[in-house]
Structure 1
Amino acid sequence: MNLRRMPLMDAASLQLEGRNMPMHVAALMTFEYPSSCTPTKRKRFISELIARWRQEPRVFYPWNQVLTRPTRWQLTPATREVYDLDLEYHLRHWSLPAPGDERELGQMIAWIHEQPMDLQQPLWECHFIDGLAGNRFALYVKIHHALVDGISGTRLVVQGLAAGPDALSTPLWARELPAEALQSAKAEWPTLGDLKAAAGAFVKLRRRSDQLTTFKSTPETILNGPLTAHRRVATQHIAMDRIKTLAKASGSTVNDVAMAMVGGALRDYLSQADALPEASLTAALPVSTRKSGDHSIGNQVSIMLGSLGTNVADPVERLEYIKAFTRAGKSLVQDLPKNAVLPYSLMTSGPFLAAVVMGRAGDSRPAFNTVLSNVPGEREARYLDGAKLLHVYPVSLIMPGVPLNFTCTSHGDFLNFGIVACRARVPRVQRLAVGLTTAFEALEKAVL
């Protein structure tokens, strides 16, 4: 039996698992049926694909990993390899009710996403969904955060699809990863100087500042508080060319524009509820700590804090406000010695995660109001048995005190947003999805 000890960050994702906080992440992919598919063939397309996939006996890492002890209550979790998958459990088929638009899709994904994973099984599931309007179907793949982070998980799923329309797809679990994906970069122990630098940066985040977004910057809102077990999910996409044109014209990055879109959407959403705080809402911005060329599977993430400019009415001024605070946050992290990043990450997230484990998160002032993550994507076309991949929407997780998450990734010609929220705390989440487009168009009109 080949045992694999979980690294510290991966183990933390398992230990945080809770009844109201399942710790899995997912990708929702929408496809266009092949042009050769008649309406009659479409009804059989997914059924035949699933039947073929269920005949595949091969399984590779990380799809073949199962916990040696099926519980989160362990200090040093480990996994072992299995080679006999129950594919009726892992691979499922659903149909949307009419009319099969984004609202019905979001409702189904919310229900699937809120279901905890069975810790006695390999920690992944694939769900095919037909009945989607516009000659489309969907594939939702969820994997436990103890195995992947957003970057490695998205890469794992999307790159598992075919590069051309003529090839039959290989089931995701039957694709053997290259050797470099199985080996993390060798960690170096931090020196005393590294620890001092990390502690100094952490102390800055615990103080008030007019130039830097800190934990003291975060206002209380009607959105923040304890979680329930149920979720809402919504999606949105914007043409990447429009975003890049806007970013270039305003001297911004794509991430700056994404933050301005989220800030504008949240400002309108809270204004409609007559609950907009005077201070700007803040966001935790996950930042990859992977070194160049590191394509390994697993968690390698730090966070920085950013202001979303919800206190600024003018869209151009909001973007400039965001850029100023984001630059300060980046400088704080980028100025750290390379071996100080991990201890800084542990110091930054440690108090919040400890409060989650002890059940106290959500009962006091929030550390940040939301999470906004930008996962790198790719422009190359991908196919599933000739069906073209249209969009990839990340479906992330939420935590007590921070029951709203925006994650975006690019694919092809679009930047795709997945919004996940606690059903009880964030009603009408579809308004936020529409608000992203409204905020972008207002900024685009003002700048261009």
Structure 2
Amino acid sequence: MSLRKLSLIDAASLRLEGRDMPMHVAGLMVFSYPEGLEPDQQKAFVTQLVERWRREIRVSYPWNQVLTRPSRWQLSPATRSVHDLDLEYHLRQWALPEPGGEVELGQMVAWIHGLRMDLRKPLWEFHFIEGLSDQRFAIYVKLHHALVDGISAGHLLVEGLSAGADEQTQPHWARHCSENDAETDSLSLPGFSDLKAAMGAALRLRRKDPELTTFASTPPSAINGPIGAQRRVATQHFELARLKKVAKEAGATLNDVVMTLAGGALRDYLINMNALPKESLTAALPVSTRKPGDHSVGNQVSMIFGALGTNVADPRERLAQITASTRAAKSFLQNLPEGATVPYSLMATGPFMSSVILGRAGHGRPIFNTVISNVPGQREERYLDGARLLHIYPVSLIMPGVPLNFTCCSHGKFLNFGIIACRDRVPKVQRIAVGLRRALEALENRP
């Protein structure tokens, strides 16, 4: 029996698993039914697809991986391969109540997303959702963060679909995984100089810094605090061309515009609650440490931190503040030696993660207010047995003290936002999704 030892970052994702903090990420894929299907054929389409996929018993990496011990309390966690999947467990079928709009879809996904995974089984689930309006259906796919990060999860889901509308699509777990895709990242031990640089960078994040957004820059806010087990999920999407036009005119990046939309939406949300802090909210910004062309499965990510400009009323001034903040953060990370990146990431967030594991997080001053992540996608059309993929929305995770997460992913002509929040801590999260649209309109209409 061959074992695959989890990397340090993968293992950390397993150890953080808790009652109110399941450590899985997900993708919500929304499809239009194949052209030419009559209403009764559309109704049978998903059922027939599920039945066909449940008959596929071939399974490849990483879908065949199961923990050797079904517990987060282990010193050196590892996985082993299995070949006898219970596909009735891994594939579920649901139907939305009328009218089958975005609200009903978000409510169902929020309920499923709040359910913890069974650590005794391979750490993935497919949920087929019928009853969407406008001749659509959806598939919500849940994967544990110990197996994948956002980039590798998005790659697995989209690349598992067909490139042509006339192809029959294999189940994702039957798709052959190349040797490179299945490769685990073997991390060499950092040298003394790397550890010294990582320690210095991590300590800098704990002090006030006139040039850099640090943990000391983060104000307390109404959206921060302990979390419960239930979730809220909302989605939003925009044409990439609109966002890139705003970025080009301002000399900013697409990610800067994304942060500006989140900052504008949160500003309006907190003003309506009469709870807007005088200082700008801050965000943790995961950044990939993958080399170009690397599609391996697993977690390869570091973290920078930026201001969201929630204390700035003018949207263009907010974008300028955010651009300056992210440039300083990127320079800070890029100036680290290559071997210091992973130890820096562990040292920077280590005390917070330890407080999460010990159940003490969420009761003091937050080290950042929210998380904003942009997962790269692809422009090519994708199909599932002739059904066209319209949007893929990332559904990430939240943590005690940081009960709100924005993750976006591009597909085709659109950038798709998935917003996840603690149900108790961040009420009416749909207002934030609407606020993103208003924030973009404000940027576009500001001379």
Question: Is TM more than 0.5 here?
Answer: yes
- Is 1:307 the equivalent of 2:284? no
Alignment of 1:144-155 (within 5 A): 144-155=144-155
Instruction: Say what the alpha-carbon RMSD is for the aligned residues.
Output: 0.9
Whether the 8 Å CA contact 2:203–2:348 is kept in 1: the answer is no
Unaligned runs of at least 5 residues, structure 1 = none
Deviations 1:120-178 (A, max 9, x none): 11100000001000110000000000000000011011100001100001001101111
CA distance in 2, matches of 1:209, 1:187: 31
CA distance in 2, matches of 1:187, 1:418: 31
Deviation at 1:185, TM superposition (A): 4.9
Report what 1:192 is aligned to.
192
SS at match of 1:234: strand
CA distance in 2, matches of 1:350, 1:291: 25
Whether the 8 Å CA contact 2:11–2:77 is kept in 1: the answer is yes
Deviations 1:284-340 (A, max 9, x none): 000111123322100111111110000000000000000111111111001111111
Matched positions, count: 447
Whether the 8 Å CA contact 1:184–1:294 is kept in 2: the answer is no
Report what 1:29 is aligned to.
29
SS at match of 2:181: helix
SS at match of 1:138: strand
Report what 2:227 is aligned to.
227
Moved more, 221-230 or 188-197: 188-197
- Percent identical pairs in the alignment equals 64
Report what 2:251 is aligned to.
251
- Is 1:318 the equivalent of 2:318? yes
Unaligned runs of at least 5 residues, structure 2 = none
CA distance in 2, matches of 1:189, 1:354: 22
Report what 2:297 is aligned to.
297
Report what 1:388 is aligned to.
388
Q: TM-score, normalised by structure 1?
A: 0.99
Aligned amino acid, residue 72 of structure 2:
R
- Is 1:373 the equivalent of 2:382? no
Whether the 8 Å CA contact 1:234–1:419 is kept in 2: the answer is yes
Report what 1:398 is aligned to.
398
Whether the 8 Å CA contact 2:7–2:186 is kept in 1: the answer is no
Report what 2:77 is aligned to.
77
CA distance in 2, matches of 1:177, 1:306: 36
Aligned amino acid, residue 206 of structure 1:
R
Whether the 8 Å CA contact 2:7–2:185 is kept in 1: the answer is no
Deviation at 1:351, TM superposition (A): 0.8
CA distance in 2, matches of 1:190, 1:18: 30
Deviation at 1:24, TM superposition (A): 0.2
Aligned amino acid, residue 18 of structure 2:
G
Deviation at 1:186, TM superposition (A): 4.6
Aligned amino acid, residue 412 of structure 1:
G
Report what 1:63 is aligned to.
63
CA distance in 2, matches of 1:209, 1:186: 35
Whether the 8 Å CA contact 2:166–2:386 is kept in 1: the answer is yes
Moved more, 39-48 or 187-196: 187-196
Whether the 8 Å CA contact 2:206–2:214 is kept in 1: the answer is yes
Deviation at 1:417, TM superposition (A): 0.3
- Is 1:277 the equivalent of 2:263? no
Aligned amino acid, residue 386 of structure 2:
G
SS at match of 1:263: helix
Whether the 8 Å CA contact 1:185–1:294 is kept in 2: the answer is no
CA distance in 2, matches of 1:308, 1:263: 5
CA distance in 2, matches of 1:354, 1:179: 34
CA distance in 1, matches of 2:200, 2:427: 39
Aligned amino acid, residue 255 of structure 2:
N
Deviations 1:245-303 (A, max 9, x none): 11111111100000000000000000000000000000000011112332210011111
